[in-house]
């Protein structure tokens, strides 16, 4: 099995470069923000970070394909880098420090492309998380200064902490009743949003999280980190990996109950 460690090192280099640019423009008074056709915001920093990552990948991995949120797919082949230059753009443009650059390498296999490397870098929080297939998941300042991630062992909903992003998506899908029933059963709920709850599942500080509407670039990096930390990452349809257009992540022990509540009246 390939060890993917060279790809992981490259992903860190890409994240370093992106962090420098996004941090420089964070809270800039002259930051330019546009509205995309789907009515979500995109800043000049999103575009610049993706352009930077694409340029470095084209030099370092010219045979690999690239999929990014802002500029789509480029290239073909069995390896594809997936980029979300700023996950949490709404936070970014309002000065909220919960945003990150998500970088993943996906490789063709059974069931389609699967993530084999993931880096989530949140410079405004001073945090970075990463994983490579078969090598575990870690957090720290660098590859050599890192702590291994492990999910929690909480096995009762009444003891569990559950995180989500917002209520509107659950309501739009007709899943709100099941969602609310779940919130009544767990010990604690918090709406951290975006990449952060998945990283907290991986490091064991919360036990499960879910979102009803996502894109591949939102999930590819977080999925490999959660699973390499010993957790479970699926769609709401229980399909493993980041392919369902929505996500549920947990320590594994609570996953069936999590999906049961979110699907109970759907």
In tens digits, the chain (266 residues) has pLDDT values of 678 999 999 999 999 999 999 988 787 777 788 776 666 777 788 899 999 999 999 999 999 999 998 888 999 999 999 999 999 999 988 899 999 999 999 999 887 899 999 999 999 999 999 999 999 999 998 888 899 999 999 999 999 999 998 899 999 999 999 999 999 999 999 999 899 999 999 999 999 999 999 999 999 999 999 999 999 999 999 999 999 999 999 999 999 999 999 998 65
230-266 in b/e burial notation, b at 16+ Cβ within 10 A? Answer: bbbbbbbeeeebbbbbbbbbbbbbbbebbbebbeeee
- pLDDT of res. 186: 98
Tokens coding 41: 């915001």
The verdict on pTM exceeding 0.85 is: yes
Dihedrals phi, psi of 38, to nearest 5 degrees: -85, 10
> Rg (Cα) of the chain, in Å, rounded?
18
Given the DSSP bridges, would you call strands 137-142 and 127-132 parallel, antiparallel or unpaired? antiparallel
| Distance from C-alpha of 183 to C-alpha of 261, rounded to nearest angstrom | 10
pLDDT at 39: 61
Characterize the bridge pairing of strands 208-211 and 161-163.
parallel
pLDDT of residue 1: 63
What are the two backbone dihedrals, phi and then psi, of residue 69, each rounded to the nearest 5 degrees? Answer: -65, -40
At 108-143, the pLDDT tens digits run 988 789 999 999 999 999 999 999 999 999 999 888
């Amino acid at each position: 099995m390939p060890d993917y460690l060279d790809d992981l090192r490259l992903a860190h280099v890409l994240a370093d470069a992106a962090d420098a640019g996004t941090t420089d423009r964070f809270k800039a008074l002259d930051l330019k923000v546009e509205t995309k056709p789907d009515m979500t915001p995109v800043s000049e920093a999103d575009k610049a970070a993706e352009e930077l990552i694409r340029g470095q990948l084209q030099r370092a991995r010219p045979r690999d394909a690239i999929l990014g949120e802002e500029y789509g797919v480029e290239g073909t082949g069995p390896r594809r880098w997936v980029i979300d230059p700023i996950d949490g753009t709404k936070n970014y443009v309002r000065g909220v420090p919960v945003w990150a650059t998500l970088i993943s390498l996906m490789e063709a296999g059974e069931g389609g492309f699967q993530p084999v490397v993931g880096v989530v870098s949140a410079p405004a929080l001073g945090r970075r998380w990463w994983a490579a297939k078969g090598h575990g998941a870690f957090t720290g300042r660098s590859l050599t200064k890192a702590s291994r991630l492990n999910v929690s062992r909480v096995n009762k909903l009444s003891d569990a902490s559950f995180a989500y992003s917002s209520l509107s998506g659950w309501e739009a899908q007709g899943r709100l009743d099941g969602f609310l029933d779940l919130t009544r059963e767990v010990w604690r709920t918090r709406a951290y949003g975006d990449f952060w709850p998945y990283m907290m599942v991986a490091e064991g500080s919360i036990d499960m999280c879910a979102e009803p509407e996502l894109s591949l670039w939102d999930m590819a990096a977080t999925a490999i980190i959660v699973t390499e930390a010993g957790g479970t990452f699926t769609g709401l349809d229980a399909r493993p990996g980041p392919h369902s257009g929505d996500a549920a992540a947990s320590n594994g022990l609570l996953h069936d109950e999590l999906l049961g509540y979110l699907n109970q009246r759907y």
